[in-house]
Amino acid sequence: MGSKRGKKYREALQKIDRTKKYTLEEALELALSSSYARFDESLDIAVRLGVDPRHADQMVRGAVLLPHGVGKSVRVAVFAKGEKEKEALEAGADVVGAEDLIQKIQGGWLDFDKAVATPDMMGQVGKLGKILGPRGMMPNVKLGTVTFDVARVVKELKAGKIEFKVERAGIVHAPMGKVSFGTQKLMENIVAFMDTLWRLKPASSKGTYVKSIALSTTMGPGIKVDPTKVKLLMA
């Protein structure tokens, strides 16, 4: 794989000591200084957890409102009727509907990023499980996207609330913002994310919970971060 990488990627790689675990600030500064793309790259985090997601009691999933968002506009669809439809629109939802919206999505329309539903709509929204489920767009009680408090949830999603879920290999991937945010804002986003992740530690998870953390820009190499030093930032 390495030989096929471009010259700029190889130059970025040379700046990084692959055997070292950096502090969060060092890793961020390295990631930002080795960003070479002509567009504003995203900064992503990958956290390996000491859990086995095949066991229901070790499934880690949640949502966090990042203080500085992720630097992209989020299109929100809301399944609601009557007064709640009006509330969602006033809160900034991009599209609101009931049976008509369900039919539109069944017909192949998917021009949105997140979906919210009022509990009374879930019986019908359930028909969309096969379409929205695999894309991670299905409204979910645990993530707070099935609620009568639609205005608050729409505003949070618009402001940069992200959802995350541990994958089969025990890794959680999530976007933390854009390179243009700079070190301080990205640090604050990462600390908010890691704080939420640590709070979600399953009671049945034994041994080390956060095994490793890596940061990478869209085009750049991964940079290892020392989890123990990140934990100290949670205070």
C-alpha to C-alpha distances, 58 to 169, 176, 211, nearest whole angstrom: 12, 24, 15
Q: How many angstroms separate the CA atoms of 160 and 133, rounded?
A: 21
Q: Specify the higher pLDDT residue, 4 or 70.
A: 70
pLDDT at position 206, please? Answer: 86
Pairing relationship of beta strands 161-165 and 61-65 according to DSSP bridges: antiparallel
| Amino acid at position 91, single letter | A
Lowest mean pLDDT among 31-40, 133-142, 173-182: 31-40
Within 13 A of 177's CA, how many CA atoms are on the CB side? 24
The model's pLDDT over 215-224, given as tens digits with 9 standing for 90+, comes to 999 888 889 9
Q: What is the mean pLDDT of the chain?
A: 91
The model's pLDDT over 81-135, given as tens digits with 9 standing for 90+, comes to 999 999 999 999 999 999 999 999 999 999 999 999 999 999 999 999 999 999 9
For 63, list phi and psi in degrees, rounded to 5: -145, 150
pLDDT at position 4, please? Answer: 56
pLDDT at position 136, please? Answer: 86
User: Could you tell me what percent of the chain has a pLDDT over 90?
Assistant: 74
Q: How many angstroms separate the CA atoms of 76 and 92, rounded?
A: 8
The model's pLDDT over 32-82, given as tens digits with 9 standing for 90+, comes to 887 777 889 999 999 999 999 999 899 999 999 999 999 988 899 999 999
Q: Where are the beta strands (DSSP E) in 21-168?
A: 42-49, 61-65, 76-79, 95-97, 114-117, 161-165
Which domains does the chain show, CATH number per domain? 19-69+162-232 (3.30.190.20), 76-159 (3.40.50.790)
